[in-house]
């Protein structure tokens, strides 16, 4: 059954049961995945899948479901079930109907360029990355590469309808010179032209070689230079906390801070799904509204929360076209660039620490922004403006609001980041931050 036919069948079946609003989306995915370890390809898999999602709203009583059985019988059964779930659900305090379509979408965002997704091409990219890492001194390399060319169809009971083609390719790899000497890099792109597997391999291999023989780091407060992978993770926390759903749920350190300074003047953060050819580009949100560029932080000041129709009505503002039908979400984050190259930024630090990567960011308090995270892979002392000794076994234990407020500058170079620790695609610079608190950690 065609995606358009699935949408129409489900819309009719749900509306016949008397609900106010229905959203149906169909995701058709076609791509491949390659995993590798110890310099060898270990898994090559073709990824082909089609799923449908149904969301209904019955006077504020909401429910949603994903459907794998796309037969007429399966779709009708799923439609009955999701409406029954909605009618039993507690009513939300505020009901906002879906935005009334039809809408006009940016044609450049509706039809993105395809990325190579056949197994032979992906295996070639992986070999490029492995060879580049080994040329830089890595002994072994591991990671994964996923490429997908998808087709996404959305239709709502309020008249929105769109079909978009979206492509993405994502490489994440770690290079090792020893068990405690490793480097991590990624290459993330929405087009073949922007995908750089060899560059990612070189970066990971170089950092692994430099980090041989790390000593235990000394806890304390340091000037810290955080690489793009680390700073992208911190920025992701800000973007999630800017969701009006998180604010309303009491899980945001940005509550009651609209119009206030929440970061240093050096930081501007924008959610921009309208950037053609990027990983997180999207022509429409989950309610069918055309997406838009939304400045979240400008010069350190919080400018907006991210909204869908329901949260916008609760807050008395217009939607920012960031639906998530339940929780508004960012799509594609862009951090403004700094003035100086990373090398010059490091040269200004007399005593500090460079952190190339991190994992396991965990909150001690969502409302205040207290958190900790473990530096992973290459980490170095900075002495006299240079990276000197590799170090290990430290943890960052600090506060997000304090750290971004203490950010002195950002690097001119920026890198697109996405991997399992950084879920929202983010164009991130490196950052120089004062007084970062490092505590002892055993990895």
110-154, pLDDT tens digit by residue? 998 899 999 999 999 999 999 999 999 999 999 999 999 999 999
Query: Is pLDDT of 101 > 90?
Result: yes
**One domain, residues 185 and 226:** no
Banded pLDDT at 442 (limits 50, 70, 90): low
Burial of 428 (0-12, 13-18, 19+ CB in 10 A): buried
**One domain, residues 166 and 196:** yes
The mean of the pLDDT values for the chain is 97
pLDDT at residue 20, as a whole number: 93
Query: Is pLDDT of 326 > 90?
Result: no
**One domain, residues 270 and 195:** no
Query: Is pLDDT of 292 > 80?
Result: yes
Q: Can you tell me the mean pLDDT for 280-309? A: 98
**One domain, residues 247 and 175:** no
Q: What is the pTM of this model?
A: 0.96
Look up tokens 């295996």; give the residue: 123
Q: Can you tell me the mean pLDDT for 394-398? A: 98
**One domain, residues 241 and 190:** no
334-343, pLDDT tens digit by residue? 999 999 999 9
**One domain, residues 302 and 192:** no
pLDDT at residue 113, as a whole number: 85
Is residue 285 within 8 Å of 322, Cβ to Cβ? yes
Look up residue 170 and give its two tokens.
């994502």
348-373, pLDDT tens digit by residue? 999 999 999 999 999 999 999 999 99
Residue with more model confidence, 442 or 319: 319
**One domain, residues 110 and 195:** yes
**One domain, residues 277 and 177:** no
**One domain, residues 387 and 429:** yes
Query: Is pLDDT of 443 > 70?
Result: no
The pair phi, psi for residue 269, each rounded to 5°, is -130, 125
Instruction: Give me the domain span that covers residue 390.
Output: 214-443
**One domain, residues 397 and 344:** yes
Q: Can you tell me the mean pLDDT for 372-393? A: 97
How many separate domains does the chain show?
Answer: 2
Report helix, strand or coil for 98. Answer: coil
> How far apart are alpha carbons 131 and 139 in whole angstroms?
10
Query: Is pLDDT of 325 > 90?
Result: no
Work out the angle between the directed axes of helices 72-88 and 3-15 (0-180°, nearest 10): 40
Q: Can you tell me the mean pLDDT for 169-178? A: 98
**One domain, residues 255 and 297:** yes
pLDDT at residue 441, as a whole number: 86
**One domain, residues 296 and 350:** yes
pLDDT at residue 94, as a whole number: 82
Report helix, strand or coil for 47. Answer: strand
CATH for 131:
3.30.2290.10
Burial of 180 (0-12, 13-18, 19+ CB in 10 A): middle
70-95, pLDDT tens digit by residue? 999 999 999 999 999 999 999 887 88
């Amino acid at each position: 059954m065609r995606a358009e036919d699935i949408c129409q069948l489900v819309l009719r079946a749900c509306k016949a049961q008397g609900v106010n609003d229905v959203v149906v989306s169909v995701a058709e995915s076609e791509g491949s995945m390659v995993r590798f370890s110890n310099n060898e390809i270990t898994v090559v898999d073709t990824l082909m899948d089609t799923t449908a999602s149904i969301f209904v709203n019955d006077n504020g009583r909401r429910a949603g479901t994903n459907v794998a059985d796309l037969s007429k019988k399966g779709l009708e059964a799923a439609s009955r079930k999701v409406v029954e779930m909605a009618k039993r659900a507690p009513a939300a305090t505020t009901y906002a109907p879906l935005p009334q379509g039809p809408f006009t979408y940016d044609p450049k965002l509706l039809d993105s360029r395809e990325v190579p997704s056949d197994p032979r091409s992906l295996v070639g990219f992986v070999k490029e990355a492995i060879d580049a890492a080994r040329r830089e001194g890595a002994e072994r390399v591991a990671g994964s590469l996923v490429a997908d060319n998808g087709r996404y169809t959305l239709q709502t009971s309020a008249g929105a309808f769109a079909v978009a083609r979206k492509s993405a390719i994502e490489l994440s790899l770690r290079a090792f010179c020893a068990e405690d000497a490793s480097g991590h890099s990624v290459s993330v792109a929405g087009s073949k032209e922007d995908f750089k597997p060899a560059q990612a391999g070189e970066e990971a291999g170089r950092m692994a070689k430099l980090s041989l023989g790390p000593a235990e780091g000394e806890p304390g407060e340091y000037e810290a230079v955080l690489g793009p992978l680390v700073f992208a993770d911190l920025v992701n926390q800000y973007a999630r906390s800017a969701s009006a759903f998180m604010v309303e749920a009491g899980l945001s350190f940005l509550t009651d801070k609209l119009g206030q300074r929440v970061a240093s003047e050096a930081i501007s953060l924008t959610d921009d799904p309208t950037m053609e050819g990027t990983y997180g580009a999207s022509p429409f949100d989950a309610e069918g509204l055309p997406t838009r560029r939304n400045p979240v932080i400008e010069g350190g000041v919080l400018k907006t929360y991210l909204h869908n129709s329901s949260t916008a009505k609760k807050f008395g503002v217009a939607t920012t076209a960031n639906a998530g039908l339940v929780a508004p979400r960012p799509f594609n984050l862009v951090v403004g660039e700094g003035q100086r190259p990373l090398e010059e930024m490091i040269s200004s630090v007399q005593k500090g620490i460079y952190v190339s990567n991190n994992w396991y960011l965990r909150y001690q308090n969502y409302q205040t922004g207290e958190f900790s995270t473990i530096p992973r892979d290459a980490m170095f002392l900075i002495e006299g403006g240079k990276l000197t000794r590799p170090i290990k076994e430290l943890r960052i234990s600090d506060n997000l609001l304090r750290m971004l407020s203490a950010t002195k500058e950002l690097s001119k170079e920026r890198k697109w980041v996405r991997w399992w620790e950084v879920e929202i695609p983010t164009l991130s610079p490196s950052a120089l931050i004062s007084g970062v608190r490092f505590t002892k950690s055993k990895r």
